[in-house]
Amino acid sequence: MQYSLAGQVLTLDARNHGSSPHSPLMTYEAMSLDVQHLLTQLGIHKCILVGHSMGGKTAMVLALQRPDLVERLISVDISPTSTTLISEFPAYISAMKSVNIPAGLTRSAARQLADSQLSSVVQDPQLRQFLLTNLVEVEGRYIWRVNLDAISHHFADIMSFPVFHKPYPGPALFLGGSKSPYISEVEPEGAPEIQRLFPKADVQFIEGAGHIVHQDKFEEFITAVLNFLPSP
């Protein structure tokens, strides 16, 4: 299937993730400022924000702080509330810290060994594969490119959501997975907060998708996003 999208598409790594710099500070206010600074540097005066999970919360914070910068908002499988459903994540972080990969292994062998070491704690194979995308080789040894120490230190901040009183006035799409509990199906307080802070929000669920909606049901995800975007 082919997709046509007018305009420029930017993919951002959050601080302490991917190729972005590491920082001891990891709050949604700080991550929102990171995006604002990038938009300023690139001379972008208005954009459409798409964010998944923690990225979705960052996008919501930016839209609520600076609605003048955000034409439309898409939050993927996350609501503007405290997230209490993934208490196992500290255990996942501890398991990632304990992974021990000897030097000299091929990338394939290193990933296989890390997968085996994680499996007793991270039992979902799909989630393990997602975490293993962060295993990288640097100067002959394998490390995690995410800043696990900063994430651990700010875990409560990441799970929470800042307090806002003034709503975002623009169009918003909350796109959840039908098999995921992260929007209103298991978080009943999520739906009122979505309506309070994003009164023009449309909440949709993609059938058969879990938390990583864009991976589980890629075609359906792209279709929903394109249907929400303004006509070129």
List 13, 23, 82, 149, catalytic entry:
149
How high is the pLDDT of residue 7? 78
How high is the pLDDT of residue 82? 87
Contact assessment for residue 157 and residue 15, using Cβ atoms and an 8 Å cutoff: no
pLDDT at 78 over 90: yes
In angstroms, the first-to-last Cα distance of the chain is 19
pLDDT at 110 over 80: yes
How high is the pLDDT of residue 186? 44
Please indicate whether residue 53 is annotated as part of the active site. Answer: yes
* CA 103 – CA 123 distance, rounded (Å): 26
How high is the pLDDT of residue 1? 42
Q: What are phi and psi of 30, to 5 degrees?
A: -65, -40
Question: pTM of this prediction?
Answer: 0.90
* CA 3 – CA 9 distance, rounded (Å): 13
Return the domain boundaries, the chain. Answer: 28-83+160-228, 88-153
Query: Which residues, in sequence order, are CB contacts of 203 under 8 Å at separation 6+?
Result: 174, 176, 183, 184, 191, 194
pLDDT at 162 over 60: yes
pLDDT at 170 over 70: yes
How high is the pLDDT of residue 16? 97
| Residue 2 confidence class, pLDDT cut points 50, 70, 90 | very low
pLDDT at 71 over 60: yes
Contact assessment for residue 49 and residue 61, using Cβ atoms and an 8 Å cutoff: no
List 180, 211, 214, 216, catalytic entry:
211
Structural tokens at position 81? 């509330």
What is the per-residue pLDDT across 11-47, written as a single tens digit (0 to 9) for each?
999 999 999 999 999 999 999 999 999 999 999 999 9
List 17, 52, 53, 216, catalytic entry:
53
What is the per-residue pLDDT across 179-195, written as a single tens digit (0 to 9) for each?
988 885 545 456 889 99
Please indicate whether residue 214 is annotated as part of the active site. Answer: no
We find that the CATH architecture of domain 28-83+160-228 is 3-Layer(aba) Sandwich (3.40)
pLDDT at 89 over 90: no
Percent of the chain with pLDDT over 90: 80
Please indicate whether residue 149 is annotated as part of the active site. Answer: yes
How high is the pLDDT of residue 181? 83
Q: What are phi and psi of 206, to 5 degrees?
A: -95, 120
pLDDT at 148 over 50: yes
Mean pLDDT for 145-165 is: 95
Q: In sequence order, what DSSP letters do the residues of the chain get, joined into one string?
A: ------S-----PPTTSTTSPP-S---HHHHHHHHHHHHHHHT---EEEEEETHHHHHHHHHHHH-GGGEEEEEEES--SS---S-TTHHHHHHHHHH----TT--HHHHHHHHHHHHTTT---HHHHHHHHTTEEEETTEEEESS-HHHHHHTHHHHHS-----SPP-S-EEEEEETT--TTTTT-TTHHHHHHHH-TTEEEEEETT--SSHHHHTHHHHHHHHHHHSPP-
Window from 14-28, 87-101, 159-173 with minimum mean pLDDT: 87-101
How high is the pLDDT of residue 86? 58
pLDDT at 53 over 90: yes
Q: Which of 36, 40, 92, 24 is nearest to 66 (CA)?
A: 36
* CA 14 – CA 53 distance, rounded (Å): 12
More confident residue, 87 or 117: 117
